[in-house]
Amino acid sequence: MPRSVLRLVALIPLTLAASLFSCGGDDSPEMTLSVSATATATAATTATATATTTATGTTSASETSGTAGESSGGCVPGTEDCACDDGACGDDLVCEADVCVSPPAASCGDGTVDEGEECDDGNDVDTDACLSTCVNAVCGDGQTQARVEGCDDGNTDDGDGCSSTCVLESCGDGVIQGAEECDDGNDDETDACLSTCLSASCGDGYVYADVEECDDGNDDDTDACPASCLAATCGDGFTQADVEECDDGNDDETDECLTTCVSASCGDGQVQAGVEECDDGNDDDTDNCPSTCMTATCGDGFVYDPIEECDDGNNDPDDGCAADCLFECGDDCWGDKGCQTAEGRCIRFTCTPGSASQTACDTCMGWQQITYQNWLNDGYCSDVSAKYRQVLDHATMCGGAPICCATPGACAGGDNAWHFHDGANNRFVGPCLGCQGADNCTYWNGTDNGNYTRITACERP
C-alpha cells in the first residue's frame, strides 16, 4: 500500500468503521480511498478524505470535519475544562490559569464560615469556642471547653458526676477532686476560685477583685475592656473603637500617634518626624510656619511677614514678584514698589525731618537709607535727580510736610533741598529742586538736625 494511503489511514479514528479499499492496476496513475464512519458519541461525525497520488509521487489531501456547537479542538470557551472566554466562565465555574474549572468545595477548617457551618476558626482544637466540626461549643457536646466548663460528658444528665450545666458535681464541697482546679466551697465569682471550680483568669467573664479592672469574657482589644482585663485607656496600646483614633502605647509626640490618642496631623502643634518641618498649632500662613507645616520659604506661595513683600509661588521674572520675594520695582516713585532709575536702582521718595533722616527709610517703609556719602560720592545724586526730573520736573516738595508721606499730593510743599544723614548729622544738600539749569549736588551742603522736613530718597534693600 502506498505511503500516502498509510498516512491517511493513521488519521482515521479507531472508532470509525473503514470501508473496503479499491485500487486500480499497478500501472494506474492514481488511487482513491473512501471512508465512512459513525462515532459512538452523541454527536454524528462524518469524515471524508480524498488523497491523490500523482505519477510524480506528489500527494494532496483535504479533510472536512465538524461537530455542532464545538470550536477548534472540540472545546467551547467558557465551559468546564476549556479556555476562559475573555476571562469569564459559565455558571458555577471560575477562571484559573485561563481555564474554566469548578470552584473548590467549601470545607470545615478553612477559616471561613460557609453555608451550613456555625463557625470556622481554622483549627482542629475541640477545647475552644468552635469545635473541629465547625459547630459552636456547647455544654453536652462531649468536649470540655477550656476555662469555661469544668467537665462535659456528652449528656445533660445530673447525678453522673458532671451536671447538666457542665460543672463537676463535686465542685463546691471545699475539696479539690478530679478535674477541679480549685474548690473553695463558695459561689463567689470575684475571688480566686470560680463557682465552676476553675481558677479565676482574665477572660473568664468575672472580674477578679483587686486583680482585674474588668473582664468581659472576650479577647476584643478594641472595646472598653481589652484582653488585659484592665479598663481601656489612652496609652495602653489598644485602639478603642469609636473613642480613640490610634494608640501606640508610648508618649512620643513626634510619631504618627499623639499621646492624646489622636492621629498626628498638621496643625496639632507637634512636629511629626520625617513628615513635618514645623508645626506651630495655627493656620497663620504669614508666620515662619504656614499651614503646610513646611518652614516658610520664598516661593512657597505664602507671604512671610515681615520678611517677604510678596510670594507668588514661583521664581519667574517680570511678574511683579522677584525671585527673592520682593516686589519688582514699579513705576510709582512714591508707591510701595518704588521706581527704577536709569542705572537700575529701585528708589522711593518720602519726607523726613532732619532729626529722623537716619531712620526714616526703615521706619516708613522698611527700605534702606541712602547716606550722605552715597549721595555725593557713589553716583546716587545724578542718577536719582534725573529720575526726579523725569517724574516731577522742577516741582518743590516736602516743605514742612509730614514724615513718611507717600503721595506727591501729601508730600507737596515749597522746599528745594534734600535730606541725607552722614552717620553723625543730617545734611541738607542739592541739587535745588525748583532751580533751572544744570543740577548741582552741592548747591547746599549744610547741617540741619531740626524738625523741618525735606525730601529724601530710599533704596530697596
In tens, the pLDDT along 5-56 reads 333 333 334 333 333 333 334 443 333 333 333 333 333 333 333 333 333 3
Taking the CA atoms of the chain, what radius of gyration do you get in angstroms? 51
Q: What is the mean pLDDT of residues 341-369?
A: 95
Distance CA 4, CA 82 (A): 34
Match 485602639 to its residue by C-alpha cell. 239
Match 511629626 to its residue by C-alpha cell. 272
Grid coordinates representing 427 are 545734611
pLDDT at 137 (0 to 100)? 95
Q: Residue 348: which of 366, 332, 326 has the closest Cα? A: 332
Distance CA 211, CA 209 (A): 5
Distance CA 4, CA 1 (A): 8
pLDDT at 71 (0 to 100)? 47
Residue 309: band (very low, low, confident or very high) from pLDDT cuts 50, 70, 90: confident
Distance CA 240, CA 263 (A): 13
Task: Look at residue 199 and tell me whether its pLDDT is greater than 90.
Answer: yes
Name the CA dihedral angle for 378, 380, 383, 387, rounded to a multiple of 10 degrees. 170
Grid coordinates representing 36 are 465512512
pTM of structure: 0.51
In tens, the pLDDT along 128-179 reads 999 999 999 999 999 999 888 889 999 989 989 899 999 888 899 999 988 8
Strand-pairing partners, residue 368, are 459
For residue 222, the tally of other CB atoms under 10 A from its CB is: 14
Q: Is 449 exposed, middle or buried (0-12, 13-18, 19+ CB in 10 A)?
A: middle
In tens, the pLDDT along 312-352 reads 999 888 888 989 998 899 999 999 899 999 999 999 999 99
Farthest-apart Cα atoms in the chain, separation:
144
Distance CA 200, CA 229 (A): 12
pLDDT at 327 (0 to 100)? 86
Distance CA 224, CA 252 (A): 24
In tens, the pLDDT along 71-111 reads 446 899 999 999 999 999 998 899 999 999 998 777 899 99
